Structure formats: structure tokens, C-alpha cells
Amino acid sequence: MSESSLFKWRHYQPNIILCCVRWYLSYPLSYRQVEELITERGLPVDHSTVFRWVQHYSPVLDKRCRRYLRPTNDSWRVDETYIKVKEQWKYLYRAVDSAGNTLDFLLTAKRDARAAKRFFCKALKAGHNQPPRVVTVDKNPAYPKVIAELKAEQALPQSVELRQRRYLNNIVEQDHRFIKRLVKPGMGFGSFNTARRTIRGYEVMHMMRKGQVQGVARGAIQERVRFICQIFGVAG
């Protein structure tokens, strides 16, 4: 999709739109707070407009960043956390490697073997991940069943070790906090699709912050801004 069609009919310059999207996805802000911040700079934008921008550009940001992600290692730490959607708890499956780099994520309506298998299949297909040597999980009984099925289907090597040791998963449990901190100002999500799209943006910005994107060092804010402008074809 070209830059002209991607930002067509938005009535604001692309760099202003991306600025609002970056702020919302990077910091614990509500849509109204982003509205105030951008209005202070002489650009009145309604919070509902910021919401629409986040919903539209978060999936695009995730998709365009994927090809630039650095390779992860083969020690997987998998866990799920709760996300409130329309006053009901849903489940966000997440995985990091032993260095804390994000492998992948998946929002699901249920916490069962089927959802866990969907997550593993998604993570295994991700271009920046290599097949795991060891998978560390909690005591969720779905995981052994899923790993056995994936081995039987030859989606996982037979040599993969499954470790159900809770204390070894502290690294992914700590990593959940970043996502929780961003969800809190919005008091949950109004729909499953809204949650899914927004979380894609949260996660990819978190990857950038951790230095997982080629050419963007850990914590390098200016490099992050330039990279996002570059992949959208916008002058920084």
C-alpha cells in the first residue's frame, strides 16, 4: 500500500498521525490525554479520531516491522495473562526468549489446548523465531498435550524439551507488566477486535523499545521515530 493511499482522506499530515499513534502505543495514556497533548501543540484533534488512527495503523505497523526483527534464541518462555474485553476476561498468550526478546503474542477468547496450539503455530511461523530447543511453561495442563500434538505433526522437533517450572517463567511474567501498564488507562477494551488491533501496536512498540528491530538500539527514541517514519514512507 502506497503512502498516498495509506493516509488518504485523513485530513492531517502523516507525521502528525504517526506521532499520536506512537504516543498512545508507547506510554500509559488515554485517548483524551493524547488529544490534550497534541492540542497543546496547536493541532486540535478529537480523541475519537486518535482512536480511529490507532485502530487503523497499529496492524500496519506490526506487519511492516516484522521483516526487520532481529533473530531470537531457541529457549522459549511461554505464558498467558488476562485482558479485560467488554467487561469479560480474555487471554493474551505471550512468549519471550531467555534474553527477554518477544517471540510472539495472541489474544484468544478461551484458555484451552486449542488456543495454546494456535499460539504455538503462530510463533513457529514468525520469521524472526527459530525452532525451540526448550519450552518453559507454567502448570497449565494444556501445554503438554499441545507440545505432544505438534511433535506428532512434525511441527516441532522430537528433541524439544518441555519444562513446567513456574519460577523459570519469571522473565515472561515480568514482561507482561509493560502491556498491563498500557491497558490500564483505557479501563479495558470495548470489543475483541479493538483489543486485538491495539495490542498488536503495544507489542511491536515494546519490541522496538527492547532493541529487537534492526537499526534501532534499545531505548533509542529518535532512532525509533525515524524507523517508523521510514517504513511508512513519511519524512521524519
Is residue 10 domain-resident? Answer: yes
Last residue of a domain, one of 153, 178, 203: 178
Same domain flag for 59 and 83: no
**pLDDT tens figures, 56-70:** 999 999 999 999 999
Percent of the chain with pLDDT over 90: 78
Residue 99 and residue 154 in one domain: yes
How many whole angstroms separate alpha carbon 78 and alpha carbon 85? Answer: 22
**CA–CA separation, 46 and 168 (whole Å):** 45
Cα dist from 134 to 28, 113, 168, 177, whole Å: 34, 19, 12, 24
Q: pTM score, two decimals? A: 0.92
Q: How far apart are CA 56 and CA 132, in angstroms?
A: 33
Q: For residues 144 and 225, state if they share a domain.
A: no
Whether residue 84 is contained in a domain is answered as: yes
Q: Are strands 75-85 and 134-137 parallel, antiparallel or unpaired?
A: parallel
Q: Is residue 119 included in any domain, yes or no?
A: yes
Give the 3-state secondary structure of residue 59: helix
Write down the pLDDT at residue 85. 93
Q: How far apart are CA 121 and CA 179, in angstroms?
A: 22
Residue 206 falls within a domain, yes or no?
yes
Domain co-membership, 62 together with 87: no
pLDDT reported for residue 171:
85
**Alpha carbon distance 18, 20 (integer Å):** 5
> Does some domain include residue 185?
no
Count CA atoms within 13 Å of residue 101 on its CB side.
19
Q: How many domains does the chain have?
A: 2
Do 116 and 206 lie in one domain? The reply is no
Domain range enclosing 97? 75-178
Residues in the chain predicted with pLDDT less than 70, given as ranges, are 1-4, 168, 186-187, 236
pLDDT at residue 139, as a whole number: 87
What is the per-residue burial (b if ≥16 Cβ within 10 Å, else e) of 189-227? beebebbbbbbbbbbbbbbbbbbbbeebeeebeebbbeb
The CATH code of the domain that includes 114 is: 3.30.420.10
- Which of 138, 156, 178 terminates a domain? The answer is 178
